[in-house]
Amino acid sequence: MLALAPDTLIMAALTIPLIGALLIPLFHNAPNARESVTLITAGALALTVWSLLPHVLAGGRPAAIDLAVVPGLNIAFQVEPLGMLFALVAATLWLVTSVYSIGYMRGNGEPRQTSFYVCFAIALWATMGIAFAKNLFTLFIFYEILTLSTYPLVAHKANAEAIRAGRIYLLILIGTSMVLLLPAIAWTWVLSGTLDFIPGGILKDKATPFALCALLALFAFGIGKAALMPLHFWLPAAMVAPTPVSALLHAVAVVKAGVFTILKVIVYTFGIETLAYGGSGSWLVYAAGFTIIAASLVALRKDNLKARLAYSTVSQLSYVILAAAILAPISAVGAAMHIAAHAVSKITLFFAAGSIYTAAHKTEISELAGIGRRMPWTMGAFTIGAISMIGLPPTAGFLGKWFMLSGAMQTGQWLPIAIIVASTLLNAAYFLPIVYTAFFEREPAAHAVGADAAHDHGEAPLPIVIALTFTAAATVGLFLFPEVPLALAKLMAGV
């Protein structure tokens, strides 16, 4: 832990990734030094962010920088519990992903690794900016930087498919944020005269329930990163990116930035009570519920492992939105918990998918028969991640669902309960067969005879195994020791 003043720590968190991004290109021709820079940067960032935690847990709301761009639009940062949680998750998992990336990028001989690591560092910088933003304007700036810095990562392979995916990615994410989110922010400003995140919201008695309903719709669909249907299809398209990108950015940083923003807007801009009182938020339960079920049904039919994981992500993201839309403080705790839980579990699953691709060059679920015996660590971690997705103890996924259900029961809303139960069954239906195939089916005999190089493989490179073992352990660890995220979530919801 660094014993520095909290505002210094915030400044550090907002500059360290940027310094890393500037240093990495200097070591273009020395891959070992270059990866060391990434690891040191990620380590320093994680240390900085963890050092902020005691201040926030003690009830502090440290702030840094307050720069008025034009009257009313300030670039300002303040750490509140939800942002703290998000920053902790992203910074910690960046360190793990950096270890993983080294194994993956080298193992697969990926091109343009320098620009890959640079974009990655900028994306993390943007994530810190989102997490610590004090107002909607600051958040919006970093939200767009995150989109723009991850675009080159999506189009990394530079083949026709990657370029097409990059187009969809940019068009949907920039499109929704410009056409819907920006007017929503401007409207909020016109209604309330401020864009700050304030506990209890800033829109109480400022607009009719109908106007609030429309404004919420602009936010919910304008924050395209939350992948609410029908604006979700950028996410499966983005799976052409190298797996570390899918793992950290499209299971953690980018999509979590989306649901994080929605949660923040509901809690700190609208205010849970303001929304609940007028009934303006009730439609969101249906939208999120539809996405949960529909995405799960699509996931059932996907044979490509990363595609199935992507649709599972779409579905899981809407859990967070659903939890927020229940509009009970205790379910907001569930939403925050689920952000952390889904992050560690889904990154484990993606790590496993990338591990299989690196070691066996397999991408389809139907090819995975018997692979559990060749790659026990990978598939073991995958199994833990899958259990967490379904939401069973002893994994982190259980906690989020528990609080969501409590909130729904407290407020007597039966629809969310039905949705959660139904989707739990669906999750089991598309994850358990993978585990079964991997461990209990025999490898096809034809392959055994051929005994080609691609087939005759063991575990993936060591950095990969270390990374996925760590995240799998964290998935269980978060269930056993949920104190930190739980304390932050409760501080946010005020319960």
Partner 1 sequence: MSAITAQLPGLQVVVPLLGAIIAAFMRRGTLAWAWATLITAFTPIIAFALLFQVWSNGPISYHMGGWPPPIGIEYRVDLLNAFVLVLVSLVSTIMMPYARRSVAHEIDGDKQAWFYAMYLLCLAGLLGIAITGDAFNAFVFLEISSLSTYVMIAMGRDRRALVASYQYLILGTIGATFYVIGVGLLYLVTGSLNFADIAARLGEASAAFPRPVLAGLAFLFVGISLKLALFPLHLWLPNAYAYAPSFATAFLAATATKVAVYLFLRIAFSIYGVALDLKALPVSTVLYPLSIAAMFIASILAVYEQNLKRMLAYSSVAQIGYITLGIALMNQAGLTGGIVHLFNHALIKGALFLALGAVMYRAGTVKLDDLGGIGRTMPLTFAAFVLAGMSLMGVPGTAGFISKYYLIVGALDAGKWPVAFLIVASSLIALLYIGRAVEVAYFRPVSQAVAHAKDPPLMMLVPMLALTFASVYFGIDTELSAGVASRIAELLIGGLK
Residues that bind partner 1 (CB under 8 A): 67, 69-70, 73, 75, 137, 140-141, 144-145, 148, 152, 155, 158, 162-163, 166-167, 170-171, 174-175, 178-179, 182-183, 186-187, 189-190
- Tell me how far apart the alpha carbons of residues 199 and 264 are, in angstroms, rounded to a whole number: 10
Q: Are 156 and 112 in contact (CB under 8 A)?
A: yes
Least CB distance from residue 435 to partner 1, whole Å?
38
- Tell me how far apart the alpha carbons of residues 197 and 52 are, in angstroms, rounded to a whole number: 19
Query: Based on CB atoms, which residue is closest to partner 1, 6 or 17?
Result: 17
Query: Based on CB atoms, which residue is closest to partner 1, 187 or 290?
Result: 187
* 430 Cβ neighbours under 8 A, 6+ residues apart: 296, 299, 300, 308, 312
Query: Based on CB atoms, which residue is closest to partner 1, 181 or 324?
Result: 181
Query: Based on CB atoms, which residue is closest to partner 1, 36 or 159?
Result: 159
Least CB distance from residue 141 to partner 1, whole Å?
4
- Tell me how far apart the alpha carbons of residues 107 and 99 are, in angstroms, rounded to a whole number: 13
Query: Based on CB atoms, which residue is closest to partner 1, 188 or 243?
Result: 188
- Tell me how far apart the alpha carbons of residues 79 and 133 are, in angstroms, rounded to a whole number: 8
Residue the block writes with tokens 């699509």: 298
Query: Based on CB atoms, which residue is closest to partner 1, 67 or 418?
Result: 67
Q: Are 479 and 387 in contact (CB under 8 A)?
A: no
Least CB distance from residue 276 to partner 1, whole Å?
26
Quick count: other Cβ atoms within 10 Å of Cβ 121? 27
CA-to-CA separations, 73 to 63, 266, 310, 472, in angstroms, rounded:
16, 20, 35, 42
Query: Based on CB atoms, which residue is closest to partner 1, 121 or 396?
Result: 121
Least CB distance from residue 11 to partner 1, whole Å?
16
Query: Based on CB atoms, which residue is closest to partner 1, 39 or 174?
Result: 174
Q: Are 49 and 91 in contact (CB under 8 A)?
A: yes
What DSSP line would sit under 180-192, residue for residue?
IIHHHHHHHHHHH
Least CB distance from residue 221 to partner 1, whole Å?
13
| Angle between helix 81-107 and 329-360 (nearest 10) | 10
Least CB distance from residue 303 to partner 1, whole Å?
28
Least CB distance from residue 144 to partner 1, whole Å?
5
DSSP 364: B
Q: Are 237 and 169 in contact (CB under 8 A)?
A: yes
DSSP 202: S
Query: Based on CB atoms, which residue is closest to partner 1, 102 or 119?
Result: 119
Least CB distance from residue 75 to partner 1, whole Å?
7
Q: Which stretches within 64-135 are classed as H helix? A: 81-107, 113-132
Least CB distance from residue 171 to partner 1, whole Å?
7
Query: Based on CB atoms, which residue is closest to partner 1, 140 or 479?
Result: 140
CA-to-CA separations, 309 to 13, 340, 375, in angstroms, rounded:
30, 17, 19
Least CB distance from residue 72 to partner 1, whole Å?
9
Q: Are 325 and 368 in contact (CB under 8 A)?
A: no
- Tell me how far apart the alpha carbons of residues 226 and 314 are, in angstroms, rounded to a whole number: 8
Query: Based on CB atoms, which residue is closest to partner 1, 96 or 212?
Result: 212
Least CB distance from residue 180 to partner 1, whole Å?
8
Least CB distance from residue 284 to partner 1, whole Å?
22
3-state SS track over 446-475:
HHHHHCCCCCCCCCCCHHHHHHHHHHHHHH
Query: Based on CB atoms, which residue is closest to partner 1, 188 or 296?
Result: 188
Q: Across-strand partners of 196?
A: 135
Expressed in percent and rounded to 5, the helix, strand and coil fractions of the chain are: 75, 5, 20
Amino acid at 62: P
